[in-house]
A and B are shown apart, each in its own frame.
Chain A
Amino acid sequence: AQSVTQLGSHVSVSEGALVLLRCNYSSSVPPYLFWYVQYPNQGLQLLLKYTSAATLVKGINGFEAEFKKSETSFHLTKPSAHMSDAAEYFCAVSPKAAGNKLTFGGGTRVLVKP
């Protein structure tokens, strides 16, 4: 079975500072990996995905993530936080097989301080 661990349920950053959200996964084979963002009372919006191409993946809104197989990690970063980045972020994995249901981490809520 696959599982996802997001270290830190809450992260507070200053506007303009680096955002780093950690995600580690457990899977018998490298899965597909995704980061989603959720704003209050809304669904999930895809930030970026890793599907076996380049290990450094660029997404929307200036976010990027690096897949490290040896560390089973897929951490999300953004060089400079903006107030609009305040939201909840979810890391998710899906198997490289038919069905591709998503298994999510517990989420990390980001607070951006002015």
Chain B
Amino acid sequence: DTGVSQNPRHKITKRGQNVTFRCDPISEHNRLYWYRQTLGQGPEFLTYFQNEAQLEKSRLLSDRFSAERPKGSFSTLEIQRTEQGDSAMYLCASSSRDSNQPQHFGDGTRLSIL
């Protein structure tokens, strides 16, 4: 069990630029989740996948956000035309299909918009 891996750990970009984050889940986990955490707050759910299917999206996920999990393994989260309000920690988590099993989190990608 190598844990959930997220890259990059930090991303600094100018407003209006596009950014992409990657998440590699625990290999035997078929569920993958994205959360956003702003300073001083708890994480907020963005979206989740079961295998390659994106099954739920939060209304927080505006049309500038897109997530993919093309082969049911790693996932990417892209933000287009970044805005100041996108500055946050983006957390990825994975879990097995059993609903009573906990989610395991990566260390996150911290996004700073200049």
Q: Which A-chain residue is minimally distant from B107 (CB atoms)?
A: A43
Q: B41 touching A44 by the CB < 8 A rule?
A: no
Q: In this assembly, does A114 line the interface, its C-beta being within 8 Å of a C-beta of chain B? A: no
**Which residues of chain A are within 8 angstroms of B4 by Cβ–Cβ distance?**
43
Q: In this assembly, does A77 line the interface, its C-beta being within 8 Å of a C-beta of chain B? A: no
Q: B42 touching A96 by the CB < 8 A rule?
A: no
- Find the residue from B4, B6, B31, B100 having the highest chain A CB count within 10 A: B100
Q: A102 touching B104 by the CB < 8 A rule?
A: no
Q: In this assembly, does B106 line the interface, its C-beta being within 8 Å of a C-beta of chain A? A: yes
**Which residues of chain B are within 8 angstroms of A96 by Cβ–Cβ distance?**
99-100
Interface majority SS (helix, strand, loop, mixed), chain B: strand
Q: Which A-chain residue is minimally distant from B106 (CB atoms)?
A: A43
Q: Which A-chain residue is minimally distant from B35 (CB atoms)?
A: A102
**Which residues of chain B are within 8 angstroms of A44 by Cβ–Cβ distance?**
43, 91, 93, 105
Interface digits, B95-114 against A, CB 8 Å rule (1 contact, 0 not)? 10001101111111010000
Partner among B41, B95, B107, B110 whose Cβ is within 8 Å of the Cβ of A106: B41
Nearest-CB distance from B5 to chain A (Å)? Answer: 10
Interface residues of B in 30-87 (CB under 8 A from A): 31, 33, 35, 40-45, 48, 55-56
Nearest-CB distance from A45 to chain B (Å)? Answer: 7
A-B contact pairs, 12 of them (CB 8 A): A41-B110, A42-B108, A43-B107, A43-B108, A90-B42, A99-B48, A100-B99, A101-B45, A102-B43, A106-B41, A107-B40, A107-B42
- A-B pairs, top 4 by smallest CB distance, nearest first, are A104-B42, A43-B105, A51-B100, A44-B105
